[in-house]
Amino acid sequence: MGQRAAIYCRVSTGDQSCDRQERDLRAFAERGGYEVMGVFKETASGSKDLRAQRGKVVALARDRHIQVVLVTELTRWGRSTTDLLHSLRELEACGVSVIAQTGLQFDLTSPQGKLFASLMAALAEFERDLLRERVKSGIAAARERGVQFGRQPGQRVKAERYTARVLRLRAGGRSYREIARELNLSKNTVMDIVKRASPAAPGEDEAA
């Protein structure tokens, strides 16, 4: 048999099927003389970070169980330009290349692969620059509209989130320590919430 290969198929939504990709790649593997070690199918959008099946393919590469990964097209394997370049380099370290159904082999040790990696790196940097510019523009526009970013002076985000529950439990006769234990807060936080809600409230139970 020829090189050991893993077939990787991906669709973006649950109403799609990997069947066509698998069928085409099995035929491609047979024509190319590849020994298919496994077929890995996944439903995940292009932006989704977690891909369990792709992780299994990478694990096979690390363990030297495969020599190539077969995909219908590179967009099935990479989430973005940066992710694609990173994953190709990770596979390269394992001696594994990605081969698209068109027959293009993305082996970063070859002259073609090195040129491809250089172009991908430039595109990845371009993508990062665009993202940074969009973020800066978005923040500037939001500030012009009066939006404030970050925690504001005097703001107690955690305390405000628990105020209603703390006061309800306190009204029911629960001690500060019991409330803190139930809500996984410090006793001082509970006391501070009660004090701010009722500044004149006595501290008879502060040691409880």
Residues forming the active site: 12
Interstrand relation of 68-71 and 4-11 (parallel, antiparallel or unpaired): parallel
CA-based angle 120:125:130, to the nearest 5? Answer: 125
Burial classification of residue 97, based on how many CB atoms lie within 10 Å of its CB (0-12 exposed, 13-18 middle, 19 or more buried): buried
Interstrand relation of 105-106 and 68-71 (parallel, antiparallel or unpaired): unpaired
Instruction: Specify whether the backbone of 173 is left (phi greater than 0), alpha (psi in -120 to 50) or beta.
Output: left
